[in-house]
Structure 1
Amino acid sequence: MIRTRIAPSPTGFLHLGTARTALYSWAYARHHGGQFVLRIEDTDVARSTQDSVDQILASMHWLGLDYDEGPVYQMQRLERYQAVAEQLIAEGKAYRCYATPEELEAMKAGQEARGEKRRYDGRWRPEPGKVLPSPPAGVSPVVRFKNPLDGEVVWQDLVKGEIRIGNREIDDLILVRPDGVPTYNFAVVVDDWDMKISHVFRGDEHINNTPWQINLFNALGAPLPQFGHMPVILGDDGQKLSKRRGAVSVTAYEEAGYLPEAMLNYLARLGWSHGNDEIFGRDQLVAWFDGTHLSKSPAQWDPAKLEWVNAQYLKAATGERLAALVLPRLAARGLEVPSEAPVAAQCDLFKERCSTLEQLADWLAAYYGDVQVPEAERAQHLTEAVRPAVHALAAALKEAEWTPAGVSAAFKSVLAAHGLKMPQLAIPVRVAAFGRSQTPAIDQCLALFNQKILMERLQSV
Structure 2
Amino acid sequence: MPDRLRFAPSPTGYLHIGNARTALLNALFARRQAGAFVLRLDDTDRERSEDRFATAIQEDIAWLGIPPDEVVRQSERFDRYQAAVETLKAAGLLYPCYETPEELETRRKRRLARKLPPIYDRAGLFDDDATRRRYEEEGRRPHWRFLLPNYESDPREIRPTQVGWTDLCRGEQSVDLGSVSDPVLIRADGSFLYTLPSVVDDIELRISHVVRGDDHVTNTGVQIPIFKALGAEPPRFGHHNLLVRADGEALSKRSGALSLRSLREEGYEPEAVASLAVLTGTSTTITAVPNLRDLAETIDLGAINRAPARFEPGDLDNLNAAILQARSFDEVAERLAALGVGGGEAFWLAIRDNLVRLNDAADWWAIVNGDFEVDLDPADGELFDQAAGLLPAEPWDETTFSAWTKEVGKATGRKGKSLFQPLRLALTGRASGPELRRLMPLFGRRSTLDRLSAHRDRTR
Give the alignment partner of residue 203 of structure 1, picking from 213, 220, 232.
213
Q: Summarize the Cα distance change of 1:140–1:134 in structure 2 as closer, same or farther, 3 Å threshold.
A: closer
One of 323, 326, 338 as aligned partner of 1:316: 326
C-alpha RMSD of the superposition = 2.9
CA distance in 2, matches of 1:292, 1:105: 39
- 2:431 pairs, out of 415, 419, 437, with 437
Query: Who is 1:334 aligned against?
Result: none
Picking from 131, 134, 152, the partner of 1:133 is: 131
Aligned residue identity for 2:272: A
After the TM superposition, which residues 226-305 of structure 1 pair with which residues of structure 2 at under 5 Å, given as runs? Answer: 226-243=236-253, 247-273=257-283, 278-280=287-289, 281-289=291-299, 291-305=301-315
Match of 2:458 in 1: none
Q: Which amino acid aligns with 2:78?
A: L
Structure 1 counterpart of 2:155: none
2:436 is matched by which residue type in structure 1?
I
Task: For residues 81-127 of structure 1, give each alpha carbon's deviation from its aligned partner in whole angstroms, at most 9, with x where no partner exists.
Answer: 12211221122111222333443344335445555443322222159
Distance change (3 Å), C-alpha of 1:290 and 1:441: closer
Unaligned runs of 5+ in 2: 152-160, 456-460
How is 1:175-194 mapped onto 2 (pairs within 5 angstroms)?
175-194=185-204
The AA in structure 1 aligned to 2:49 is S
Distance apart, 1:183 and its partner CA:
0.2
Q: For 1:420 and 1:289, how far apart are their aligned partners in 2?
A: 54
Instruction: Kindly report which structure 2 residues correspond to 1:324-335, keeping only aligned pairs within 5 A, or say none.
Output: 324-328=334-338, 330-331=339-340
CA distance in 2, matches of 1:115, 1:277: 46
Q: What SS is found at the alignment partner of 2:381?
A: coil
- CA distance in 2 between partners of 1:427 and 1:433 (Å): 10
Relative to structure 1, the CA distance from residue 298 to residue 109 in structure 2 (aligned partners, 3 Å threshold; closer, same or farther) is: closer
Runs of 4+ in structure 1 deviating by more than 6 angstroms, as ranges, are: none
* Structure 1 residues 216-235: aligned runs within 5 Å: 216-235=226-245
Which AA in structure 1 matches 2:230? L
Note if contact 2:142-2:188 (Cα within 8 Å) is conserved in structure 1.
yes
Q: For the residues of structure 1 that align with 2:255 and 2:436, how far apart are their CA atoms?
A: 45
Residue 415 of structure 1 deviates from its aligned partner by: 5.4
Q: Please name the residue that 2:385 is paired with.
A: 388
Corresponding residue of 1:12: 13
Matches within 5 A, 1:73-88: 73-88=73-88
**Distance of 1:418 and 1:383 partners within structure 2:** 11
TM (norm. structure 2) is: 0.86
Q: 1:348 Cα shift?
A: 1.1
Could you list the per-position Cα deviations for residues 162-183 of structure 1 after superposition, in whole angstroms to 9, with x for gaps in the alignment?
2222222122211112332210
Give the deviation of 1:76 after TM superposition: 1.7
Aligned residues with identical type, % of pairs: 36
Aligned to 2:154: none
Q: CA deviation at 1:242?
A: 4.2
List aligned pairs for 1:61-80, cutoff 5 A. 61-70=62-71, 72-80=72-80
- Distance of aligned partners of 1:454 and 1:52 in 2 relative to their CA distance in 1, 3 Å threshold: farther
- Cα contact 1:28–1:290 (8 A) shared by 2: no
Provide the rounded CA distance (Å) in 2 between the counterparts of 1:24 and 1:221.
Answer: 28
Is contact 2:401-2:437 (8 Å) kept? yes
Pairwise CA distance, 1:37: 0.4
Distance in 1, Cα, partners of 2:437 & 2:243: 46
In 1: Cα distance, 2:408 partner to 2:132 partner = 102
SS of match in other structure, 2:62: helix
DSSP 3-state at the match of 2:120: coil
2:424 pairs with 1:447: no
Does 384-393 or 28-37 show the bigger shift?
A: 384-393
- CA drift of 1:7 comes to 0.6
* Structure 1 residues 323 and 102: CA distance shift in structure 2, 3 A: same
CA displacement 1:308-334 (0-9 Å, x = unmatched): 322222211113323433443x44xxx
CA distance in 1 between counterparts of 2:356 and 2:320 reads 6
**What is the rounded CA distance, in whole Å, between the counterparts of 2:293 and 2:76 in structure 1?**
35
Give the drift of 1:259: 1.5
Give the stretch that moved more between structures: 413-422 or 198-207: 413-422
Partner residue, 2:166: 156
SS class of match (1:234): strand
Contact 2:385 2:452 in 1 (8 A): no
Q: Number of paired residues?
A: 441
Does the 8 Å contact 2:21/2:243 carry over to 1?
no
